[in-house]
Chains A and B, each alone.
Chain A
Amino acid sequence: MSSHSMKKYKIGGLAPLILVLSGLCLVPFFLRAYLVEVAMMYFIYIILAQSYRLIVTVHDWQLYHIVLYGVGAYTSGMLAKNLGVPVFVAIPLGGAMAGLVGMAITLPLLRTKGWGFYIATYGLAELIRLTWLKFRNPFGGSTGIIDIPWPPVIAGIDFSDRIPYYFFSLGVMLLVMLMLYRIEKSRIGDSFKAISMDPELAASTGINIPRHRLMACSIGGFFAGVAGGLLVHRLGAVDPKLFNITTTLYLLIWVVVGGTNTFWGPIIGVSVMHTLFELSRPLIEIRPMFFGLSMVLVLIFLPGGLEGLISKAITRLQKRDRVAPVET
């Protein structure tokens, strides 16, 4: 992955943001039921991809993010079903559990460098996933858990209905994005990037690298867990297959194709790639090949991802506005 380019450019101020938001608020009233469900998946995937990017800014391309998403889903689902914890309390608790698990599995691997680290994270992710598969009690084995409680009725709004849940997940996504944005722009976010650019220099200025890596993994894990909670109380069921290596590959594809240099990359990645995913349903068998190839090609020819391409185009346009082209 190439570098973090910190070049300044404006995507266009607040106006487009307000436009997009009002669009998102109107959309569920006009779309078919199925498409509203699809839209909710976008929100969940954007939370996943953005929280993953936070970890990537420290250069830890771990492969257990999807399993932490699962930890959130299982925890939240089981708390609600077995212990009667209210759904809206269970979801953040699922996030907390995912954050803790993320920290626990990163801890023994902190001294393992580069590739060994990535592989080991894959191994430990499988360990967790296989635990769900192996222990029918309490995880339900390969069939997973069903009859997970729906969200309740609050102030006359039934959150198990499609449109209220749409707004609930939209709200959660925006909140997560705001928090991640604040971290990104803070000194902590800068320290993460500093570590990935020059770990030796970062350590020499007093940045405790293991602590920051653990922090990134657990914060990222927390949000992945929240995404899992959002998923499980909409599906009403959960099983280990949802969190296997294939889902991890799709996460990588969103993040890589979108670009990891800025905050907006993963959003672009999910928006474009998941739309293509939905559109290519008729080609379901060869679809993975297209996605795999597109990631390979982006890595080789477009290291900044789609976001890099767009921002480059914008800066070029701005330049052309400022300096009139000279006719020759």
Chain B
Amino acid sequence: MSSQLLIQTIANAIAASGMLALIAVGLTLAFGVMQMANLAHGHFFMMGAYTVYALYALGGWPFWWAVAAAVAVGAVIGLIVERGIFRPLQGDVVSGFIATAGLMFVFEVLVGELWGWGLSRPIPSPYMRAVRFMGAAVAFQRVLVIPFAVVSIGGLMFFMRRFRLGRALRAVAQDPEAAALQGININRMTALAMAIAGAYAGLAGGLMSTIYAITPSLGGHIILPALIVVVVGGMGSIGGATLAAVIFGFVMTFVTTLVDGVTAVMVSVTVMAVVLAIRPQGLMGRVIA
């Protein structure tokens, strides 16, 4: 591996970590608050990407306006799923999980019917420039996600420590019953968590839309790495998800560069199995007695 390629790969790995973190943090937050898992979370990401495609590539909106719309679309979808599926199924983990599996079909068909099936949609990058660093060139568009990931996740952690609403969210994630006794409105918190989860996935989808070839099946491809990150990080742990996102961002990018994408997924799954065999609760998960 030449030093140029090495630097390029490291930059890509950091970008991939940022994207994975943005997706996984929302997924794990929603899980922590509701104890419910959203298999269609990757499809939120896909909807974000398609929002940018529709508004920016087709509609001629400025790129950043389109990204902002992707965030809003993600949040709204999150709210709808919370209201329509998780709330009626409250507490029924298996049903919630399977219902969101059914949702995967729904979103895929929706997007496919609206914007066409099959071939990927190319989206022209608004920033053609490359960042030059020690002789290596890294696409500016690709590293764009990094500052956004840092600010959003840092902001979320700050919000959950310093703000009353955020602390309430944290309390529900730690012990829903005790939180309810303190007068915290659980439904409001689950809605908030799903809105944040949707918004973050939409943001990641919007930012990465110009890099990935987007197709209706994009959600199905991105969900597995995101789930692996959440499970390995420890379900419900935002810090754990961030840590695991960095680990898998690097593992997947390097294996993809050195071998191929299929092997990268295989290696990641194997790492997950090993971690779970040793630490069933994940790296930073709490042990449930």
Contacts and interface: CB of A to CB of B under 8 A. Distances in A.
* A/B touching: CB–CB < 8 A: yes
Interface stretch (B54-62, B101-109, B183-191, B204-212): B101-109
A272 interface: no
Interface stretch (A67-75, A202-210, A227-235, A283-291): A283-291
A133 B263 CA distance: 10
B95 A1 contact: yes
Contacts of B68: none
Given A123-B269, A288-B109, A291-B105, A61 B97 contact: yes
A115 B93 contact: yes
Interface string A288-319: 11011111100110010000000000000000
Main secondary structure of the interface of A (DSSP, over half): helix
Nearest to B234: A116
B26 interface: no
Interface in B85-135: 85, 88-89, 92-95, 97-99, 101-106, 108-110, 112-113, 117
Contact of A116 (B113, B263, B274, B282): B282
B104 A292 contact: yes
Contacts of A299: 89, 95, 98-99, 102
Given A252-B98, A285-B117, A289-B106, A300 B88 contact: yes
Interface residues of A, number: 43
A109 B282 CA distance: 12
A118 interface: yes
B273 A123 contact: yes
A245 to B, nearest CB: 6
Ranked 3 nearest A-B pairs via Cβ: A292-B105, A289-B109, A108-B277
15 contacts: A61-B98, A108-B277, A116-B231, A118-B94, A120-B276, A126-B224, A127-B265, A130-B262, A245-B220, A249-B101, A252-B101, A285-B117, A286-B109, A295-B102, A299-B89
Given A116-B235, A293-B105, 10 more contacts: A111-B277, A116-B276, A127-B266, A130-B262, A249-B104, A292-B102, A292-B104, A293-B106, A296-B102, A300-B99
